Amino acid sequence: MQDFIKIIIRFKELITFTALTVICLSLISLSDASKIGGFRAFVIASIGKLQDAFAWVPNPAALRSENQALRELNLQLSTEVIKMRSALIENNRLRSMLQLKDTSSVHLMPAEVVNKTNVQMRSYITLDKGEQDGVKEGMAVRTDGGLVGEIVATTRKYSLVELLNNRHVKISAKILRNQIEGIIAWEGGQYLVMKNIPTSFEVYPGDIIITSNYSVKYPHNLPIGKVIKIEKEPGSLFHRILVEPFANFAGLEQVFIIEQVVDSEVFQLSKEIEERIKSRNIKRK
């Protein structure tokens, strides 16, 4: 017995290290990063309050980048205002001719960004609107430019938004010009990547990317970004398209919460199928 205790004392570092490693691996396998609820949502909201209190600390890099983006946006908007006005008149005339229901009446709730958490490649923002304002998990968030992300956790006064530049994010999207569907993901860097577009389809720099009608998480036809570069990978049947997001993630200050939650049944169904495929793959392995 004494020998056993001696061995334990002698190798206590290794034994403790092994035990803690097993605990960590168990925790990793049990936790689901896409779900932040209960106690953690409370902790994150409390941090949100703290972040709100320190929001006055200036971030020169973000301010500079936001200023530049705003100037560019101003320029674009001023030229597009006239086009939009004439398009609106034409749209109304055509709608009344076809007696179509107006689908663009989505309620937008303005919200202030109280903090941006960007620790170790995880990008979240905390908004000053929560459950008491009618915010729900799953609502999309956008700026005047385009899609920003999705609300992943809410408390009474705050909500947490997972930005598009996050490893979990995969968005069903399409090219506005030819309606070709693909998938938007983030692989690091300032650009998003659009995949699953066959090389037989022509894609050009400047093409606008919007959310697809098949998206189970985001409302359709939300602007995401524009094509910057088309890469052809040798041996691949698909394009690798770099997309510059319209929203400036570095300088987010005011955003809009889209008060529309995508049908939870559709979302649940797609998740169930995903899980079934996953478990089938594990069985095969």
Partner 1 sequence: MKLEAQKYDLKNIKVRYIIYGIIALILMLIELLFINIISIENVTPDLLLILCVWISLAEGQFPGIFAGFTIGLIFDIISGDVIGTNALAKLVAAYIAGFFHKERNLKANLNTFRFVLVVLLSAFIHNLIYFFFYLKPAETSFARFFLQYGVAATFYTVLFSAIAILIRIPAKEIDID
Cβ pair 132, 278 in contact under 8 A: no
Mark residues 11-50: x for contact with partner 1 by CB under 8 A, - for none.
Answer: -xx--xx--xx-xxxxxx-xxxx--x--xx--xx--x--x
- Dihedral angle computed from the Cα positions of residues 93, 95, 96 and 97, in that order, rounded to the nearest 10 degrees: 80
Pattern 123-142, partner 1, x by CB under 8 A: xx------------------
Assess contact for 121 and 233: CB atoms under 8 A: no
Concatenated DSSP letters for 206-248? T-EEEE-TT-SSS-TT-EEEEEEEEEE-TT-SEEEEEEEESS-
- Residue (22 or 75) nearer to partner 1, CB: 22
Question: CA-CA distance, 238 to 194, in Å (whole number)?
Answer: 10
How many other C-beta atoms can be found within 10 angstroms of the C-beta atom of residue 248?
Answer: 21
Query: 188: which 2 tokens?
Result: 């690091």
Residues 203-242 that bind partner 1 (CB under 8 A): none
Asked if 117 is part of the footprint of partner 1 (rule: CB under 8 A), the reply reads: yes
Nearer to partner 1, 166 or 215 (CB): 166
Phi and psi torsions of 71, nearest 5°? -65, -45
CB of 22 to partner 1, least distance (A): 10
Residue from 1, 81, 82, 119 binding partner 1 (CB under 8 A): 119
Nearer to partner 1, 107 or 170 (CB): 170
In the complex, which residues of this chain contact partner 1 (CB under 8 A)?
A: 12-13, 16-17, 20-21, 23-28, 30-33, 36, 39-40, 43-44, 47, 50-51, 54, 57, 59-62, 115-124, 153, 160, 165, 167-168, 185, 187-190
